[in-house]
Amino acid sequence: MRSIKKTKTSSKGKKAPLIIPRAEHTISRSAINRHALKVLYRLHEAGFNAYLVGGCVRDLLLGQTPKDFDIATNARPEEIRRLFKNCRLIGKRFRLAHILFGQDIIEVATFRTHHENATETHGKSHQGMIVRDNVYGTIEDDVVRRDFRVNALYYNIADYSIVDYVGGMQDIKDKVLHMIGDPEKRFHEDPVRLLRALRFVAKLNMRITPETEEPLLRLSHLLDHVSPARLFQEVLKIFQGGTTLATIHLLQKYHLISKLFICVNKESALVNIALSNTDQRIREGKTASPAFLFAVILWQSVSEHVMRHEAEGMPTYLAIEKALQHILKLQTERLTIPRLMQLSIREICLLQHRFTYRKGGHPYRLLEHPRFRAGFDLLILRAAAGEHVQELAEWWQEFHSQTPEQREKMIKEMNQKSSSHNHRRRNPRKRRTKPVQTE
Ligand code: ATP
Ligand code: MG
């Protein structure tokens, strides 16, 4: 029999949590980031309550590796700062403490609440969205402002137990995602929760309860009120989660995809191959460049526009430039992609055309190009996805891996080929335009 203890009902009559003692759960201290442990112990020794909370508790219980270890406490930001000399307070709306250990940052948040009956000036907009979230509270308040029950488990450093106010432990076992409170109201408060729900379904391999799913199916329009900057941050999280392909498929299924991307074709072999490759890389602990992923996702739209411009007689390079300008403009209306990242996306796409120049010093210059690797990867994936660039991709694969002498030989062959080609077409009646995806 499980010996789950209950604490006494609080004086305010709030529901008592389940306390799952150390012997009854699988979170071992050896799996917890040592800096996070240090912070927890220091807070505890100073007489404060301190808990690991959110995604890290959930991921540890599911046997996954947490991305970050967040701490919740009843200590106020100033009190936290007094305890840690390596502490920086951040945030205007809600002050958070960052405890710095070299590259490793442990985020410590004071328990907070939100006003139930807030009016626009007190923290909610007309759509019911929370725009201000800055009032300190108790652990009970902190629990109910979290999104899903599996994200509201607290690991108590005082006795290594897990404190569960909302049934999150059962959801972890049942592998279900259940919104805390009234799902419709919670989606209205913060529509990003629509995206988070699908990201967690994919990442945690969970299903959504019918009462959470029902509003999810009809509230996509709420995302129109979320800033493109916040949506961009959410897309980055999707890209870095290791289950991007599954998340993209869910976003398509629930008709949310168009809120993030101007166009993602469900059947696109390129997107499917590229995203499953990147997911694999992330699961192996490697990184994936967001610019590359944007280039992959936008490539089909870009090349469709290029073909249209070429059909009107525009030279390929100009056609790509024009297509990119148009596509990036549309895309950045949805997501605030930083300028540098936009430049990288452009370069990765432009390289697809530059790869077709294989004479003289050109290929050597491309090898030195800062985006060569990403551009080259896209070329290989296009070939794998069935675009007519197989010969070009194989050539670059060989050129890339060859010795300097062999490279010289390959260039010579290219020069000869093209001079005999030019000879044959010395007096062409009309210059044929090249579609971007063929050589
Ligand atoms: P991951 O880090 O894997 O993306 P996470 O659950 O840790 O998942 P974070 O964005 O790091 O997500 O947030 C940490 C915790 O803060 C969540 O587990 C949740 O309890 C709470 N939280 C984050 N975003 C929201 C939100 N939009 N609404 C309510 N609670 C949220
Ligand atoms: Mg997290």
Q: Which tens digits make up the pLDDT trace of 136-160?
A: 899 999 999 999 999 999 999 999 9
Q: How far is CA 189 from the centre of its chain?
A: 21
Active site (catalytic) residues: 68, 70, 147
Q: Which atom of ligand 1 is nearest to the CA of 190?
A: 27
Q: Is residue 169 part of a domain?
A: yes
How much distance in Å is there from the Cα of 68 to the middle of ligand 1?
10
Q: Does residue 47 form part of some domain?
A: yes
Per DSSP, the chain holds a count of helices (H) and strands (E) of: 18, 13
Backbone phi and psi for residue 35, each to the nearest 5 degrees, phi listed first: -70, -40
pLDDT digits (tens, 9 = 90+) for 107-118: 999 999 875 533
- Separation of 120 CA from ligand 1 center, angstroms? 24
CA distance 110 to 114: 13
Asked if the model's pLDDT at residue 190 lies above 70, the reply is yes
pLDDT at 105 over 50: yes
CATH number for the domain including 11? 3.30.460.10
Residue 351 lies inside a defined structural domain of this protein: no
Total-model pTM:
0.86
- What is the CA(347)–ligand 1 centre distance, in A? 34
The more confident residue out of 124 and 291 is 291
CA distance 120 to 117: 10
Alpha-carbon dihedral of residues 408, 409, 411, 412, nearest 10 degrees?
Answer: 110
Structure tokens at 159: 């006795």
Q: Is residue 263 part of a domain?
A: no
Total domains in the fold of the chain = 1
Report the pLDDT value the prediction gives residue 278, as an integer from 0 to 100: 92
Cα radius of gyration rounded to whole Å, the chain = 27
Q: What percent of the chain has pLDDT over 90?
A: 69
Residue type at 302 in one-letter notation:
V
**Residue 190 Cβ contacting ligand 1 at under 6 Å:** yes
In a domain, 41, yes or no: yes
Q: Which residues form the domain of 88?
A: 1-174
The residues that bridge with 148 in the sheet, in sequence order, are 179
- Is the pLDDT at 434 greater than 80? The verdict is no
Query: What is the dihedral sign for C-alpha 249, 254, 255, 258?
Result: negative
Q: Which residues contact 334 (CB under 8 A, 6 or more apart)?
A: 228, 231, 259, 260, 261, 262
| Chain segment 245-260, per-residue pLDDT in tens | 999 999 999 999 999 9
Q: What's the CA-to-centroid distance between 287 and ligand 1, angstroms?
A: 21
pLDDT category at 14 given cuts 50, 70, 90 is: low
pLDDT at residue 128 is higher than 90: no
SS3 state at 203? helix
Mark the residues whose beta carbon lies below 5 A from ion ligand 2: 55, 68
The number of the ligand 1 atom at minimal distance from the alpha carbon of 67 is 2
Average pLDDT over residues 222-237: 96
Q: What is the pLDDT of residue 118?
A: 38
Contact 147 CB / ligand 1 (< 6 Å): yes
Q: What is the pLDDT of residues 336-371, one digit of tens each?
A: 999 999 999 999 999 999 998 888 788 888 888 999
Residue 81, domain member (yes or no): yes
Report d(CA 237, CA 251) in Å as an integer.
14
Give domain status of residue 166, yes or no: yes
Angle at 140 between CA 134 and CA 146, to 5 degrees: 60
Q: Identify the residue whose C-alpha is closest to ligand 1 atom 9.
A: 55
Would you say how long the chain is, in residues? 439
pLDDT digits (tens, 9 = 90+) for 270-289: 899 999 999 999 988 888 89
Tell me, yes or no, whether 161 lies in a domain. Answer: yes
